[in-house]
């Protein structure tokens, strides 16, 4: 706030320079770095300038008149100019006082609006959940749709950025993830099955499950090497005794899906992330050997643990995923 006051002080002084006579210009500029006006002083001056009556203003401000008079005189001393003409109990603005009052009018109006604006921002923030979705996007989308039905006033800001540091909840995946025992964050850990997607006319399309080693000589379509699932799937192929022959790779899951549907090859399909609604041209086959799965982690960040709306959705999302897993087992 002190920096804000100093900035406002600088603005006021620049406006004063504009309004003041040329003979005073150099004087004020020399004083600019030394002025330490307080916001309360400016508030007092503005009230007196509006009323042009010291006693009445003191009563309105609920302060003693001598204190108000002293504050005005201190402000005049700091600025080096008279702000009021005084004649007994009567006062009137000088040219400098009028210039300061005119300069303060929009400034104080803006300052008085700040608490309301900040309160509105805080209220909006409480209604907004920042959700960073790096995995299980289909699952999260379904959960959002379901949750919004009973929470229409809630807003979600969806992010997909591994570098994001201000999310309330992050959904991500990591190999061999261990939740620290002394963590101040909250985590939920689930397993996501990875299927093998084949064209509808593949010889394997009617199989109930497949062994990965049987695809050692097949053409693979994959996400690019920078994606975590690519690393996981390459490792599973190595466990099955082969290096996948990748003929196409892309950063886009939709492109991978379309290429598989076109019959150009096979590929891995993460369950919660891409969904289980297989297109007409694709068959999703469970992989019996090796067991292909990865960890899906829901993380409630420490800064959000006191936010009721965030914690409520986090609990719902955790419960939603557990219910899906329970349904699968039946």
The per-residue DSSP string of 75-90 comes to HHHHHTS--EEEETTE
Res 34: pLDDT:
42
Banded model confidence at residue 326, pLDDT cuts 50, 70, 90: confident
Res 124: pLDDT:
60
Q: Cα 266 to the chain's mean position, in Å?
A: 38
pLDDT at 324 over 80: no
Banded model confidence at residue 264, pLDDT cuts 50, 70, 90: very high
Banded model confidence at residue 6, pLDDT cuts 50, 70, 90: very low
Res 35: pLDDT:
45
> Cβ distance 140 to 317 under 8 Å?
yes
pLDDT at 18 over 50: no
| Separation CA 202–CA 206 (nearest Å) | 8
- Could you report the per-residue pLDDT of 200-257, keeping only the tens digit for each? 999 999 999 999 999 999 999 998 866 777 888 888 999 999 999 999 998 888 899 9
Res 153: pLDDT:
78
Region of poorest pLDDT, from 36-40, 135-139, 189-193, 251-255: 36-40
pTM over 0.75: no
Res 23: pLDDT:
42
Residues 6+ apart with CB under 8 A from 235: none
| Separation CA 130–CA 125 (nearest Å) | 9
Banded model confidence at residue 179, pLDDT cuts 50, 70, 90: low
- Could you report the per-residue pLDDT of 83-138, keeping only the tens digit for each? 999 887 788 999 999 999 998 888 888 887 777 676 666 556 566 888 898 888 87
pLDDT at 33 over 60: no
Banded model confidence at residue 322, pLDDT cuts 50, 70, 90: confident
Res 291: pLDDT:
85
Task: Name the one residue in this structure whose structure tokens are 């600088």.
Answer: 10
Residue ranges, comma separated, of all CATH 1.10.10.10 domains in the chain are 2-123
Residue ranges, comma separated, of all CATH 3.40.190.290 domains in the chain are 130-329
Q: SS3 for 227?
A: coil
42 or 273, which is more confident:
42
pLDDT at 65 over 60: yes
Banded model confidence at residue 28, pLDDT cuts 50, 70, 90: very low
Res 328: pLDDT:
64
Banded model confidence at residue 19, pLDDT cuts 50, 70, 90: very low
Burial readout 287-299 (b: 16 or more C-beta within 10 A, e: otherwise): beeeebbbbbbbb
| Separation CA 161–CA 230 (nearest Å) | 18
Q: What angle do CA 130, 133, 137 make, to 5 degrees?
A: 130
| Separation CA 56–CA 91 (nearest Å) | 12
Q: What is the mean pLDDT of the chain?
A: 80
Highest average pLDDT, of 71-75, 88-92, 159-163, comes from 71-75
Structure tokens at 66: 């001598």
CATH class, domain 2-123, is: mainly alpha
Looking at the domain that runs over 130-329, which CATH code has it been given?
3.40.190.290
pLDDT at 159 over 80: yes
């Amino acid at each position: 706030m002190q920096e804000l006051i100093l900035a406002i002080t600088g603005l006021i002084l620049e406006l004063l320079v504009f309004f003041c006579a040329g003979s005073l210009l150099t004087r004020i500029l020399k004083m600019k770095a030394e002025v330490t006006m307080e916001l309360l002083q400016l508030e007092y001056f503005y009230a007196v300038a509006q009323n042009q009556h010291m006693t009445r203003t003191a009563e309105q401000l609920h302060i003693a008149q001598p204190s108000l008079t002293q504050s005005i005189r201190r402000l005049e001393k700091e600025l080096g100019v008279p702000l009021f003409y005084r004649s007994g109990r009567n006062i009137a603005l000088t040219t400098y006082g009028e210039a300061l009052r005119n300069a303060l009018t929009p400034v104080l109006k803006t300052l008085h609006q700040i608490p309301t604006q900040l309160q509105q921002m805080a209220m909006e923030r409480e209604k907004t959940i920042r959700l960073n979705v790096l995995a299980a996007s289909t699952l999260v989308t379904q959960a959002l749709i379901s949750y919004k039905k009973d929470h229409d006033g809630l807003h979600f800001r969806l992010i997909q950025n591994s570098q994001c540091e201000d999310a309330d909840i992050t959904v991500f995946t990591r190999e061999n993830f261990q939740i620290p025992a002394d963590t101040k964050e909250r985590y939920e850990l689930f397993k996501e099955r990875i299927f093998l997607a084949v064209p509808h006319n593949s010889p394997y399309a009617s199989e109930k499950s497949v062994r990965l080693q049987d695809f050692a000589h097949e053409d693979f379509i994959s996400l690019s090497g920078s994606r975590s699932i690519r690393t996981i799937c390459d490792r599973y192929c190595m466990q099955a005794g082969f290096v996948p022959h990748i003929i196409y790779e892309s950063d886009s899951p939709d492109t991978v899906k379309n290429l598989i549907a076109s019959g150009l090859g096979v590929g891995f399909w993460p369950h919660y992330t891409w969904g289980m609604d297989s297109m007409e041209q694709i068959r999703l086959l469970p992989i019996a050997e090796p067991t292909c799965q990865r960890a899906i982690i829901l993380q409630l960040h420490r800064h959000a643990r006191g936010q009721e709306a965030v914690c409520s959705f986090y609990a719902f999302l955790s419960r939603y995923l557990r219910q899906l897993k329970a349904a699968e087992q039946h």
